[in-house]
Structure 1
Amino acid sequence: MFKGLGGLGDMAGMMKKAKDMQDQMAELQERFDQITVTGESGAGLVKATATAKGQLTGLDIDPSIFQPDEKEVVEDLILAAIKDAQTKAQERAQSEMQKLTEGLGLPADFKMPF
């Protein structure tokens, strides 16, 4: 009568894996606040530091670029460094997520809903 439902015993194992994954995801989200990346532009004249969540935490500008007639260049360099830091933050976050999913036996291309 219950033929075909033999896999229900695996349901408890699946639920435990899901709970473990949820716990690991929470830990990873907390770690994203501590992981930092640095983006650069202008051969390192402008550096932007961000968390793996993409929040800008620091900006370092070499004083040699402060020429009044090059204001637009400086602004462009700042924006480029920030964009570079945000891109690196996103890549780092994806890398950390991939490590987590691989450790749980999920496919490498598995996408999390967040």
Structure 2
Amino acid sequence: MFGDMMGMMGKLKETQAKVEATKERLNSVYIDESSSDDLLKITVTGNRAIKSIAIDEQLLEDKEQLEDYLILTLNKAIEKANNVHETELAAVAKEGMPNIPGMDMFK
């Protein structure tokens, strides 16, 4: 039994290292989002950090419109980044879970 516990602890540490490596890799995964008319383009990482924002000149003429565009497009980009982030980390966590009877919560 003690050996099983040590094995599980080793597996959990290995999984933790894989989770950290995945988080690091997500810094280089880019998600592009743009407004429906392509006047605003945003790029975020898989860790939800904004990398770039490109604003068409015509949006600079109307502050309120620009704010609306930013809110809508940023929210869409962040939602996509959240999905990528959660999917990637869930895959690593599922792979690294020790086989504990009765704990098949990822099925």
- Between structure 1 and structure 2, the one with the greater Rg is 1
Report the Cα offset of residue 33 of structure 1: 1.1
Moved more, 19-28 or 98-107: 98-107
TM-score by length of 2: 0.79
TM-score by length of 1: 0.75
RMSD of the TM alignment (CA)?
2.0
Total equivalences in the alignment: 101
> 2:96 is matched with which residue?
104
**Cα deviation 1:48-93 (Å, max 9, x = unaligned):** 1111121111012233444x3x331122112211121111111110
Report the Cα offset of residue 35 of structure 1: 1.2
Structure 1 residues without counterparts, runs of 5 or longer: 1-6, 110-114
Q: State the SS of the aligned residue for 2:33.
A: strand
2:76 is aligned with 1:78 = no
CA distance in 2 between partners of 1:105 and 1:14 (Å): 8
Percent identity among equivalent residues?
26
CA contact (8 A) 1:39 1:86 kept: no
**Cα deviation 1:6-42 (Å, max 9, x = unaligned):** x222112101101111110121121121111122223
CA distance in 2 between partners of 1:90 and 1:71 (Å): 28
> 1:56 is matched with which residue?
50
Trace 1:1-114 onto structure 2 (pairs within 5 A). 7-66=1-60, 68=61, 70-105=62-97, 107-108=105-106
Moved more, 33-42 or 50-59: 33-42
Structure 2 residues without counterparts, runs of 5 or longer: 99-104
CA distance in 1 between partners of 2:79 and 2:45 (Å): 11
In terms of fraction of residues, the more helix-rich structure is 2
CA distance in 1 between partners of 2:41 and 2:92 (Å): 29
